Structure 1
Amino acid sequence: MKKKVYLFLGMLSFSLGGMAQNMLITLEECQKKTKENYPLIRQYDLVSLTEKYNLENLVKNFYPQISLNGQASYQSDVTKMPIKIPGMNVPTMDKDQYKITLDVSQVLWDGGTIRSQSVITKANAALEKSKTDVSLYAVQDKVNQLYFGILTLDEQLKQLDVLTSDLQTNYNWVAAMLKNGVAMVSDLDLVKVELLNAEQNKIEMQTMREAYLEMLSLFVHESLDPSTKLEQPGDILDWEHEIRRPELSFYESQRGLYKAQESSVKAKNSPKFSLFAQGGYGKPGLNMLEPDFKTFAIGGLRLNWNFGNLYTRKNERKLIENNRQQVNVQEEVFLFNTQVQLTQIKNEIGKYQKLLEKDNEIIQLRNRVKLAGESKYKNGIYQMNDWIGDINAENRARITQALHKMQYLQTIYNYKYVQGN
């Protein structure tokens, strides 16, 4: 029984190990993991915290405002009675005065200032988050380039394997011919050289693939070993999809900020009412003619209306409208440039579609030339150099087709990226 359990566990670990070694990852997964782990993602939380603290501070402006004030002074002259009244001793104020007060004020109506500042704070937070969206979206293009770079290398490695297999078959065949005295040693050496060249190219591409995988690992925040397989994405594309780039939300956030600033202009030109109270101890008190230290208190309703802001109100609104128009122009330019870019990429997609059709024809013809060269070599009317040239020409045609296929897919996803889909 124990042996069966150990055998089962061994098979399970082997199966899991095989799964780990052949991990498959998609482009969508890479984009998702990059967005979740890219350092800039923490900017959203920081912006939200800043917004929260600013809003809390604004609300606290409605709390009673308390201040402690003190003053000691000496003046060169004091108020005196201009006449003397017989039989009366009119006191004279002292030239040294002392006062300490506790002032309390409570806002009743601030003209909408705090409310407008709250709206501006929220608009600023939305703008900062939109900026972060734009920066994070740009990272997607880097991930796309790495992903398709690895896929391109995979396709080239596949063609190298086909070439190596073809050359190895020919090497064995020429070696057999050499034993039978119908081939030369130099022919065998030529095939061996091509095998070594293929191995060198494979080493270079594998090294480059590992480097690309390491960079992609940093973006997805996950270890990707050389055995990791990348799924080839599909070529489905919606030409009529509207542009949904995060830059458009950024422009909208800017307009939202300017709209919030308009309410601030109105609030600055409104009257403000508050209650106030003051309690103190000083010399003199409220009775200026009493020279002794006294306690005192005063309270009431205060009105504050700054008419100076009326002079600049019109220009402030014009400046806000001017800023809004600038954003509209920037958005129009962005949409125009994006549409031009999409048109250019669309033409490139059509180009690669046509190239792939020709690639199939070229490969078929190159294969026929290679087979004809093989027959000629066997009949002794073809040199090994010429035959190897035919083999390499067919391999180059297959590599070109693989490159065009990857360029075709990458261009489709570049179109999606520019489109915002």
Structure 2
Amino acid sequence: MRTILFLFALVLSGVVLAQESLTLFECQKMARDHAPRLGDLEVIQEMGETKIDQVSTTWYPSLDLNGKLSYQSDVVEVTLTDPDIPAEFPQVPHDQYGLNLDIIQNIYDGGISRGKKTLEEALMAADLQQVEVDLYRLKGRVNQYYFAVLLLQENRRNLEIHLQILEERYKTVKTAVTHGSVLETELHVIEVEKLKMKKSVIELDSRKKSHMGALRVLCGDGLGVDAILEKPQFEGVEESGINRPELKLFDLKHKSMEAGKELVEKKRMPVLYAFGQTGYGKPGYNMLSETWDTYYMLGAGFKWKIWDWNNTSREKQLIGYQQQILQTQRASFDKEIESLKVQEEASIEQYRLTMELDQQVLELQNKISEKAAVQLDNGTITATDYITELNKESLARITLATHQVMLMQSKANYLTIQGNL
């Protein structure tokens, strides 16, 4: 019997090698590459760089072209009351025309532009990290479907072994029936059990197809429907503390809030600028001239908001409240992660202990089944009795395989919770 199972295992291995095989890490990478959210990384990067470039333009001169056309009903008039003075003062024209180019150049803005640039960079980094957080959550969903399919694969393999044993036993009993040492009804009992196993295989294939379909939605068309999922190995994976992307996101959000505080303070700083105006009009700067003329003016100015009714203080206070909320969110996240870790650690320990007992049960039940097979061949027990023992062996094998897969899943979940997968 051991030789038969060994040969059958070789046949199964050949089938597996002929099919596409995928690892858990490959599926997770495929899910990330296929995620629509991945495209947001480039969009956010470009949007952030555009905002930073926009901030830089505050150092470019401001050019405004404006014109005017007006008529005044009254203008300033200068008249002399002494008739002995033979002088006549020109009058300001009632109609005025002008086309001006105004130029303003920032010289010192109190660090506002630098503060805005720092804030935009921090906000962009936080937005990019938010995408990484969303993409990382895909790993949990991939784990769920991956191990569901892997468990069905193992159950199907064990059912195939069970069915192969029945096939071999069917041949032996059929020979005994031919020689008249066993009743034909015993053969029918084994045949019924074979049909039940084939039915179970069909049901498993249907369930596997369903879960593979769900996994394929996450991973894309690159995941073949008939792909074989490999048992993951975690020996090379380092458990270097908590490395969840959410932690980096909390840090980046805090950094952006600090940048916001600094920008608020800079708004109170004095601003120094240069300005100029050139134009062509009637009159020019000489209001008493009635001719068209060109003109220009250069100068400098400054602005300083010396009192803002505590608006700056209130803005900083509001940002401080946001930081307090952020700290609470991080504390809640840390507590949740620790709780999930404890649960998975308990599951890992449970499966390790039960697997040792599962192996012992399987070895003992295998001996019982082999003895029952000899008794069936000798006609001392019925086929029903034999199948009862064989089913117990199959159940022990499936239980062991199930706990093996569950242990792998708990390890994968544990590493995912840590952020190390």
User: 1:366: which partner in 2?
Assistant: 365
User: 1:177: which partner in 2?
Assistant: 176
CA RMSD of aligned residues (A): 2.8
Cα deviation, residue 127, structure 1: 0.3
Q: How does 1:13-412 map to 2 (within 5 A)?
A: 21-81=18-78, 84=81, 86=83, 87-217=86-216, 219-221=218-220, 223-225=222-224, 228-234=227-233, 236=235, 241-309=240-308, 311-378=310-377, 380=379, 382-412=381-411
Aligned pair in 2 of structure 1 residues 238, 102: CA closer, same or farther (>3 Å)? closer
CA deviation map 1:383-413 (0-9, x unaligned)? 4333322222221221111111100110011
Partner Cα separation in structure 2 for residue 73 and residue 197 of structure 1: 101
Aligned pair in 2 of structure 1 residues 56, 240: CA closer, same or farther (>3 Å)? closer
Structure 2 counterpart of 1:206, one-letter code = D
Structure 1 residue runs of 5 or longer lacking an equivalent are 1-16
CA deviation map 1:155-178 (0-9, x unaligned)? 112101110111111211221222
Aligned pair in 2 of structure 1 residues 75, 400: CA closer, same or farther (>3 Å)? farther
Structure 1 counterpart of 2:403, one-letter code = H
The sequence identity of aligned pairs, in percent, is 28
Cα deviation, residue 300, structure 1: 0.6
Is the CA contact 1:237–1:412 (under 8 Å) kept in the aligned structure 2? Answer: no
Is the CA contact 2:67–2:99 (under 8 Å) kept in the aligned structure 1? Answer: yes
User: 2:6: which partner in 1?
Assistant: none
Q: How many residues align?
A: 405
Cα deviation, residue 361, structure 1: 2.7
Structure 2 counterpart of 1:304, one-letter code = K
Aligned pair in 2 of structure 1 residues 185, 95: CA closer, same or farther (>3 Å)? farther
Partner Cα separation in structure 2 for residue 43 and residue 395 of structure 1: 50
Cα deviation, residue 118, structure 1: 0.5
Q: Secondary structure at the match of 1:242?
A: coil
Cα deviation, residue 116, structure 1: 0.6
Partner Cα separation in structure 2 for residue 59 and residue 343 of structure 1: 50
Is the CA contact 1:363–1:398 (under 8 Å) kept in the aligned structure 2? Answer: yes
CA deviation map 1:260-282 (0-9, x unaligned)? 11221122111111111111222
Structure 2 counterpart of 1:407, one-letter code = M
CA deviation map 1:60-95 (0-9, x unaligned)? 221221110112234454334487454443444344
Is the CA contact 1:47–1:125 (under 8 Å) kept in the aligned structure 2? Answer: yes
Q: TM-score, normalised by structure 2?
A: 0.87
Deviates more, 1:36-45 or 1:367-376: 367-376
Cα deviation, residue 375, structure 1: 4.7
Deviates more, 1:384-393 or 1:374-383: 374-383
Is the CA contact 2:369–2:390 (under 8 Å) kept in the aligned structure 1? Answer: yes
Is the CA contact 2:71–2:96 (under 8 Å) kept in the aligned structure 1? Answer: yes
Aligned pair in 2 of structure 1 residues 110, 235: CA closer, same or farther (>3 Å)? closer
Structure 2 residue runs of 5 or longer lacking an equivalent are 1-13
Q: TM-score, normalised by structure 1?
A: 0.87
Q: Secondary structure at the match of 1:101?
A: strand
Deviates more, 1:74-83 or 1:21-30: 74-83
Partner Cα separation in structure 1 for residue 107 and residue 61 of structure 2: 10
Cα deviation, residue 237, structure 1: 9.0
Aligned pair in 2 of structure 1 residues 385, 85: CA closer, same or farther (>3 Å)? farther
